[in-house]
Amino acid sequence: MSQATQRERTVTLEDAGPAEKGTAPDEVIIALSPGFGEISTETLSGVSHAEILRETMAGIEEEGASMRVVRVYDTVDLGRMGLVSSNLSGSGISIAIQSRGTTLIHQEDLLQLDNLELFPQGPLLVPETFRAIGRNAARYAKGESPAPVTVENDPMTRPKFQAMAAIWHIKETQCLDEERGQIELDIDFS
């Protein structure tokens, strides 16, 4: 179905209470930044948050792994989001996604700025990339060592989106709520 005729997906993210440490050995946590779906419903390049979340979840499902979605309210730092959420995951694996699209896959025994895979050029990430990120995270959770997800690299992305990314960062920090910490989310697609 063409983009013009396809019905736009929407997602509702409802707080379900404080996120606890998981126990499933194949679990992947998808950690969303405080402003994901709040300051905007799409990334800097116009990919809808609903599509990002659906594709990431589909990639995890394809590999037969379990998952939970958590909003990390106490930081907007991608590395910190990844570390905190990997410590909540039963497998120790998480995917952290900022509202602008920047994403990483993290593992609980790595330092905050270390990660398994980093996708710093959020505006270049398309829905298929998020599905591949979900698949790889599930493979890591199952103890496999997958080849890294390949992504496009465009040196002009930074100058094209840098000013907008700075504004989004400011908006995102306004959504911080250190008292809430990490909250598990119920997801509803429509």
* Stated pTM of the model: 0.92
pLDDT in tens, 91-107: 999 999 999 999 999 99
In single-letter form, the type of residue at position 113 comes to L
Question: What pLDDT is stored for residue 114 in this prediction?
Answer: 93
CATH class of residue range 11-189: alpha beta
Q: Which segments of the chain have a pLDDT < 50? A: 1-7
Q: Which two tokens stand for residue 183?
A: 């909250």
pLDDT in tens, 136-172: 999 999 999 999 999 887 777 777 778 888 888 999 9
Q: What residue spans define the domains of the chain?
A: 11-189
Question: What pLDDT is stored for residue 68 in this prediction?
Answer: 98
Question: What pLDDT is stored for residue 8 in this prediction?
Answer: 67
Cα dist from 105 to 62, 74, 135, whole Å:
17, 19, 11
Cα dist from 21 to 31, 75, 81, 84, 89, whole Å:
13, 18, 15, 11, 6
CB atoms within 10 A of CB 144: 10
Question: What pLDDT is stored for residue 3 in this prediction?
Answer: 38
| Inter-residue long-range contacts of 172-176, CB under 8 Å, 24+ positions, other chains counted | 172/33, 172/34, 172/35, 172/39, 172/76, 172/98, 172/99, 172/100, 173/76, 174/35, 174/39, 175/33, 175/34, 175/35, 175/38, 175/39, 175/73, 175/76, 176/34, 176/73, 176/74, 176/75, 176/76
